[in-house]
Chain A
Amino acid sequence: MLPLHSFLALIKKELLTLSRDIHGMVALFLMPMVFIIVMSMALKDVYTPPATTLSYAVADQDHGATSAKLLARWAQQHGAPQTLPQDWHNEVQSGRLKYVLVIEAGFSSLIDNPGLIDNPGSNSTAKVRLLAEPGLGNAIFETHRVRLAAMVTQLKTERLLAQLPPALNAGANINDSPVVAERMSAGPRPTAVQQNVPAWLVFGMFFVVASIAGLFVEERSCGALARLLSLGVKPWQLIASKIAPYLLVNGLQAALMLGVGIWLMPVIGGEALSLQGVHWGALLLMLFAISLAAVSMALAVACLVTTHAQAATLGPILNVLMAALGGVMVPVFVMPPVMQKIAVYSPMNWGLEGLLDVLLRNGEVGSVLNEIATLTGFSVLMLAIAFLLFRRRV
């Protein structure tokens, strides 16, 4: 049995060599941090449509009281309009102006005379037009279209109610709706940051594959491994001595990525990562299980490859594949059904789903046990493969 101080010497050596591997440090810490920042900012609008930041203008050809009321309400929700440029068609076509609301002449009289009421969403009879730039995302376009239709309908309803005798009108509140929409178990609101931090954290944690494999190949090719073995170090002890430092590295990665989400993102204009209501035990267990899976897989790959070139290519390729399939780069729910079935075979998917359970759905330990068990089983398998390959290679 290797004495504790010998084991600690191996761990210290591992941490020192890793800390001097600049490329490895960049891949492990800087790269996922950059991904979190870039992807969270890039996808910010996917999760929070920019209702008040889209530049728009108004072409009010009606000049009636009702059109003014409509525009005032629209401005309340979507910010003030810009001055309508003369060549506004070109401005919209080129995307410099995101949309223009055109209120055609006669709109107010249409609303004020219920007998003329028609469907405002139909092009043939529309008196309010939403003309958007070609590149405006479908989700945002549809949201604006529905909001506009709802506002027009509200104006019509108000006008109808106003025409009823007071006895019938009493107590009517057009804002009452039988529709209630809310998210189950009030976890933090899903935002780009809330989605991207766990996704790229999992990706970054699995990047230890390239680092461990590279350093292990170097250790073997320079003869240091043979020297360690000649000093009585057993293969399992050597493998075990590599697990502990990289668990620590993964822990530091997790702390850094969460810190970026919580403190850095709001400073640079993104939303802050919220850990409100998060079950810390579940979060720590998930992080440990992901880390163990990542390090175990890294050791298996390290024992499989024989050259630096293999280590430098196989690790990143495996990582990118697992990330693409596992929902790190593209959320699984937007994938076609076939891809969704494949996604569940990626270890990154197990880790990501578990983290999303904890960070978005207020998941407790019980709700992530499946993911933890799967990741642990995967770790055991990878360690067994690493051990067998090590015995064959040395």
Chain B
Amino acid sequence: MLSIRNLSFRYAAASDAALQEVSLDAARGEVLGLLGPNGAGKTTLIAHLCGLLPIQSGTITLDQLPLSTQLARNPLRIALAPQEYAFYPSLSVVENLACFAGVGSLSGTMKKSRMLECLAFAQLERYSATRADRLSGGLKRRLNLAIAMLHRPELLLFDEPTVGVDPQSRAFLLQAIKKLALEGCAVIYTSHYMEEVEAIADRVVILDRGRVLQQGALDELLSSSSAHLLLAVDGNNNERLVAALSSFGHVTPQRVGVKITLASRDNLARVVAAVEAAGLTISHMRFGDDNLEQLFMSLTHSSLRD
């Protein structure tokens, strides 16, 4: 459905490009998790998808046609649920829905019924007359979601949609987003919370400094990183440990111990033997079973919350 090829963008007066040769795809019925630390280029990418930034280099197509053409024909095919509360705080829930429904193509009974559907989907019926600025953080996020759904978009863009919400609201939002994908929407979901992306994303794109570091199905990415061995020895003698293991592959010192990527699982026994031969005593060892956070850190050398 959505195809981005070699997209590059540099803000005026910026020394570095915000996006460099970014290529990715999103399909209907799929949740694409977009991960990256602050400044990775996620928001710039989303702004491109909403038509808020001009394409400087590369292409974005939606159903084989340039995005600009598709948006000119029907801008409502894509909806944005931005990081901020993108509604009017002094208006009530229903007034906000009516405003954004009216600005889009909806009017009359169609508008009314769609507003009711979205209120029900976001479970906001009880709060329809409440001013938006008097809602809790979780309810505000649900209103954000309800507004984004108004025009039955084919592609939904969520930019950090769960920031500042309680666990119950977060669970509700994730479930709702997953449901939208099951109904046939393409969803692009950016978040700082790895566990969220792991919970709902079918595929993941890891961005850093405007570049795609890795992308693919979540299972594939995690299994590709499962040959990581974390090893610590008594006395935390990393120098001797690095020297003992350097013939097995690239060794990265950690705060406690070292990390080494093994070419093959069969090398595990030989690594243990080499450590013991060097006169070191293993105090901690973990092999495989990486999660997304560990994969991300190994790729970007930083935490998502940096």
Contacts and interface: CB of A to CB of B under 8 A. Distances in A.
Contact of A219 (B71, B78, B88): B88
A175 interface: no
A232 B80 CA distance: 12
B82 A226 contact: yes
Contacts of B107: 5
B95 A222 contact: no
Contacts of A227: 80, 82, 86-87, 100, 147
Contacts of B50: 226, 229-230
Given A5-B102, A9-B102, A9-B103, A230 B75 contact: yes
Given A230-B51, A232-B76, A394-B52, A223 B91 contact: no
A219 B85 CA distance: 10
Contact of B102 (A12, A20, A21, A222): A12
Question: Chain B contact residues (Cβ within 8 angstroms of A): what range?
Answer: 20 to 34
Contact of B90 (A21, A221, A229): A21
A230 B82 CA distance: 11
A230 B81 CA distance: 10
B99 interface: yes
Interface in B86-113: 86-91, 95, 98-105, 107
Nearest to A394: B52
Contacts of B51: 229-230
Interface in A172-221: 218-219, 221
A75 interface: no
A232 B104 CA distance: 8
Contact of A222 (B76, B84, B99, B151): B84
B83 interface: yes
Given A232-B71, A394-B52, A222 B89 contact: yes
B185 interface: no
B45 interface: no
B88 A17 contact: yes
B231 interface: no
Interface in A16-43: 16-17, 20-21
B91 A16 contact: yes
A218 B89 CA distance: 9
B100 A231 contact: yes
A227 B51 CA distance: 11
B186 interface: no
A16 B90 contact: yes
B180 interface: no
Contacts of A219: 88
A13 B83 CA distance: 22
B7 interface: no
Contacts of B105: 3, 6
Which residue, B88, B95, B100, B147, has most C-beta atoms of chain A within 10 A?
A: B88
B84 A9 contact: no
Contact of B87 (A222, A231, A233): A222
Nearest to A2: B103
B18 interface: no
A232 B86 contact: no
Interface string B51-91: 11000000000000000000100011011101111111111
A17 B88 CA distance: 8
Contact of A6 (B52, B82, B102): B102
B80 A6 contact: no
Nearest to A4: B107
Nearest to B89: A222
A341 B259 CA distance: 78
Given A229-B50, A230-B51, A230-B80, A20 B104 contact: no
Contact of A13 (B89, B91, B104, B151): B91
A6 B150 CA distance: 14
Nearest to B132: A222
A157 B147 CA distance: 90
A305 interface: no
Contacts of B104: 6, 231-232
B103 A17 contact: no
A224 B78 contact: no
Interface of B: 47, 50-52, 71, 75-76, 78-80, 82-91, 95, 98-105, 107, 147, 151
Cβ-closest 8 pairs across A and B: A9-B102, A232-B75, A223-B84, A223-B86, A20-B90, A230-B50, A227-B86, A13-B99
15 contacts: A6-B102, A6-B104, A9-B99, A12-B99, A16-B90, A20-B90, A218-B89, A221-B84, A222-B85, A222-B86, A224-B86, A229-B52, A230-B51, A230-B52, A233-B103
Given A16-B88, A231-B104, 7 more contacts: A3-B105, A10-B99, A13-B99, A17-B91, A222-B84, A230-B78, A231-B76
